[in-house]
Amino acid sequence: MNIILLGPPGAGKGTQAAHLVETRGMIQLSTGDMLRAARTSGTEMGNIVADVMDRGELVTDEIVIGLIREQLETAEGNGFIFDGFPRTLAQADALGALLEEKGESLDAVIEMQVDDDTLVQRVVNRGKEAAAAGQPVRADDNEESMRTRLMEYYKKTAPLIGYYYAKGQISSIDGLGAIEEVQGAIAGVLEG
Ligand code: AMP
């Protein structure tokens, strides 16, 4: 089973993906994690994307599609969770083509709905909590970058909701509740 977790920054996609990895043996493909790893290891690509990411803008389709293509060629597991990908219509088309090449399909797109004030609050708190615990703080977990990330989401990623709706693949859930409640809602979609 291959699924997309779709939603604005701070909606809880990464947290929910981690749970699905643990409980169902699925493979999480997070382009954000891949890009951060490329930065940490100082690859040429990592250096190119660093400033764009810190500002909260999207990196190019070419780069992220390349990362996903590489993973789909090698990763094996009980289905993929696409977390933070696709973020544009071009990425969505590319994902459809890549899955088709593999003889696979997309089984569900789960849209996690959270209101904007909560999103900004969550992400700013995530930055502060990491700092207080001496953990690395994401350079984009601050209010200014977060506003840009939200704007990018509404301009470029939210159109995917209509795109997958037209394909009959989207299920929207409330992402505001406790982590366990959201886990339950996702399980309901996957088992329903
Ligand atoms: P995330 O961890 O998913 O919030 O991603 C962090 C940052 O990485 C985003 O704000 C973008 O700059 C970049 N990024 C991650 N995934 C994508 C994607 N699918 N398309 C373009 N940029 C992305």
Q: Which atom of ligand 1 is nearest to the CA of 91?
A: 19
- Per-residue pLDDT of 118-165, as tens digits, reads 999 999 998 899 999 999 888 999 999 999 999 999 999 999 999 999
Bridge partners of residue 172, in order along the sequence: 111
- Average pLDDT estimate for 90-113: 97
Ligand 1 pocket, residue 17 CB under 6 Å: no
Find all residues with CB under 8 Å of 8, minimum gap 6, and list them.
114, 116, 119, 149, 150, 153, 157
Query: Can you give the pLDDT at residue 76?
Result: 83
Separation of CA 58 and ligand 1 centre (Å) = 6
What is the predicted pLDDT for the residue at 148?
A: 95
- 56 CA from centroid of ligand 1 (Å): 8
Best probe residue, ligand 1, of 40, 52, 87, 141 (max atoms within 8 Å of C-beta): 87
Predicted TM-score (pTM) of the model is 0.96
Which positions are annotated as active-site residues?
13, 87, 126, 138, 149
pLDDT of residue 169: 96
